[in-house]
Amino acid sequence: MPPIRGFNDLIDEVFQPVVHLPSHPATLARFGIRALMPATWTAGQFKDDPARALFMGVAAHSFSQLTTPLSSSVGLLLTAAAHAVGWPVAEGGTESITRALLAELAELGGTVVINTRVRSLDGLADLVGSAPDVVMLDTAPAGVLEIVGDRLPSRVRAALSRYTYGPAAFKVDFSIEGDIPWTNPDCRRAGTLHLGGAAEQIVASAAATTSGRMPDRPFVLLGQQYLIDPTRSVGTTNPVYAYAHVPHGYEGDATDAVIAQIERFAPGFHDRILAVSTRNPAGLEAYNPNYVGGDIAAGANTARQIAFRPRVTSNPYSLGVKGVYLCSSATPPGGGVHGMCGLYAANTALSRL
Ligand SMILES: Cc1cc2nc3c(=O)[nH]c(=O)nc-3n(C[C@H](O)[C@H](O)[C@H](O)COP(=O)(O)OP(=O)(O)OC[C@H]3O[C@@H](n4cnc5c(N)ncnc54)[C@H](O)[C@@H]3O)c2cc1C
């Protein structure tokens, strides 16, 4: 598969804003032409149904419609990453990444204030002890509008107000006794599974959630990383997380739909459940204000917002306010635990100090 060849060169190119001087123009052009295509077109290039479903499940990560231009981009990149380097798992859970970053910060003399919702630039000096030279907002554009408010130039304010948010996640965490009784034993070899059925069913589910309808069988992403990281388990009690793609701001309870979708591929799963903890879209937004309406991607992955996040500009990290920058996944290259949004925002801030 071409994007796998030269994957490191490709990552150099796509992990930065769309408008840039490419170091590997041929690699980028080859990827760009494929990425432009709808996911349905790319899936159609595969000969058999399992391969089409596999690609579509990965493409559905984007929470976007799968029939529109550029909807192949996320699927191609994540599939190529899976082949080239795998999908790494943090030992001890994602929390260990946070702990490692905190340790690094502490070594550099930094401190962290937690459990404080920032609602305005005023008062930051009290919060951190002195007036900051640089403010990095790791927020969705909604957070920028709230925190920076009237200080934003009107063109930036207008653009951020037009930013759109996508479908939501409905998260269900399980404790289970033993393992998930997958019908297909190969499912035990994967940390992440996409439960959506055939490619056409995944496309239909995405079409429903992107147009505000709850599908009967929502697309479910399931994580069973304990299989390769036993530190997450206690004896034979194992953690499994899942989330369904549901419409933006969905107010219903999708727990049974999630369990039914797992049962579809693992009959008997229900009997292994010891405990369930759920977070609906409102709960997700209360937990993290970036998840507007439960959108964990910090903005809809429409063709426009895949190419230009959060607005069409030569420097998406700049907000037009001296010393204030946006560094969240609402900037290029978008969602994921890659840290590149922060890197480019930091480079912008340093170049202007
Ligand atoms: C369930 C789930 C599973 C995921 N799985 C994966 C995966 O397997 N691989 C992967 O690469 N990505 C995964 N992601 C996506 C990844 O976590 C995000 O794309 C990434 O964390 C986004 O980074 P960010 O810096 O934009 O914001 P965040 O990581 O959301 O950090 C923003 C922080 O700022 C805080 N904040 C926001 N507003 C304010 C405010 N006004 N005042 C104070 N604090 C505020 C938030 O509470 C949060 O702590 C997953 C996301 C979810 C929700």
Contact assessment for residue 242 and residue 257, using Cβ atoms and an 8 Å cutoff: no
Task: Choose among 252, 244, 254: nearest CA to 296.
Answer: 244
Q: How far apart are CA 202 and CA 57, in angstroms?
A: 7
Q: Residue written as tokens 């194992």?
A: 238
Using one digit for the tens of pLDDT, what is the confidence trace for 282-339?
Answer: 999 999 999 999 999 999 999 899 889 999 999 999 999 999 999 999 999 999 888 9
The 10 Å Cβ neighbour count of residue 59 is 29
Candidates 118, 290, 338: which one to mutate for ligand 1, based on the most atoms within 8 Å of Cβ? 290
How does DSSP classify residue 257?
Answer: H
The 10 Å Cβ neighbour count of residue 265 is 19
Using one digit for the tens of pLDDT, what is the confidence trace for 24-69?
Answer: 888 888 888 999 999 999 999 999 999 999 999 999 999 999 999 9
What stretches in the chain show pLDDT beneath 50?
none
Is residue 93 within 6 Å of ligand 1 at its C-beta? no
Is residue 78 within 6 Å of ligand 1 at its C-beta? no
Q: How far apart are CA 245 and CA 222, in angstroms?
A: 11
Q: Residue written as tokens 């996320």?
A: 74
Contact assessment for residue 67 and residue 38, using Cβ atoms and an 8 Å cutoff: yes
In the chain, pLDDT over 90 holds for what percent of residues?
A: 86
Candidates 77, 138, 147, 228: which one to mutate for ligand 1, based on the most atoms within 8 Å of Cβ? 138
Enumerate the H helices of the chain as residue ranges.
Answer: 7-14, 25-35, 39-44, 49-59, 73-84, 95-107, 124-128, 141-148, 154-162, 199-210, 255-265, 281-287, 303-307, 340-352
Identify the pLDDT of residue 13. Answer: 86
